[in-house]
């Protein structure tokens, strides 16, 4: 059984795309960081929460045919790197779309979906996936 606490801790990022902004250089990051890789020590204790835009474009993608067990019911499914409208890159599944229709540059938006569950009796994990912007 996976750690309940570990996945719970990531809820702000997984549900609401909460990342970090460095007040020193203005750069934004996802997932959130305690330290700006650019400013390093100058940013310790100063990083601010930042809500990443939920809209973006497909930068690259692939259709997964060999999947981990938890995703068996969704094979084949699409994974993608998405560039959000505020310039942040995120990796996620692309759902509610015919794999044959996915194109680099496609407009997409973030939704909340089930990622997996710790078996039949364990906790259900929710997180972001993206759907085509219609």
55 near other proteins (CB under 8 A): no
- Say if residues 100 and 134 touch (Cβ distance below 8 Å): no
Write the Ramachandran bin of 119: left for phi over 0, alpha for psi from -120 to 50, otherwise beta. left
Examine residue 101 and tell whether it contacts other proteins (CB under 8 A): no
As given in the structure block, the two tokens for residue 8 are 């719970």
Regarding 91 and contact with other proteins (CB under 8 A), the answer is yes
The SS3 assignment for 69 reads helix
Contact 65, 55 (CB under 8 A): no
Interface with other proteins includes 68 (CB under 8 A)? yes
Shortest distance (Å) from residue 93 CB to other proteins:
5
Binding residues among 32-51 for other proteins as defined by CB under 8 A: none
Window of 20-28, 40-48, 126-134 that interacts with other proteins by CB under 8 A: 126-134
Six-digit token pair at 45?
A: 């204790």
- Tokens 């650019």 locate to 38
Query: What tokens does 130 get?
Result: 């993206």
Query: Residue 53, interface with other proteins (CB under 8 A)?
Result: no
Binding residues vs other proteins (CB under 8 A)? 7, 10-11, 13, 15-16, 31, 59-69, 71-74, 76-77, 79-81, 89-93, 95-96, 98-99, 104, 111-116, 119, 124-129, 134
């Amino acid at each position: 059984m996976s750690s309940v606490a570990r996945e719970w801790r990531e809820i702000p990022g997984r549900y609401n795309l909460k990342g970090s902004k460095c007040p020193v250089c203005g750069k934004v990051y996802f997932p959130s960081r305690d330290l700006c890789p650019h400013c390093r020590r100058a940013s310790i204790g100063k990083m601010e929460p930042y809500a990443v835009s939920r809209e973006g474009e497909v930068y690259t993608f692939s259709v997964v045919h060999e999947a981990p067990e938890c995703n068996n019911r969704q094979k084949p499914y699409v994974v993608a790197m998405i560039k959000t409208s505020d310039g942040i890159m995120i990796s996620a599944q692309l759902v509610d779309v015919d794999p044959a229709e996915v194109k680099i540059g496609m407009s997409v938006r973030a939704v909340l979906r089930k990622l997996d569950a710790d078996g039949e009796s364990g906790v259900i994990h929710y997180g972001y996936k993206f759907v085509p912007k219609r």
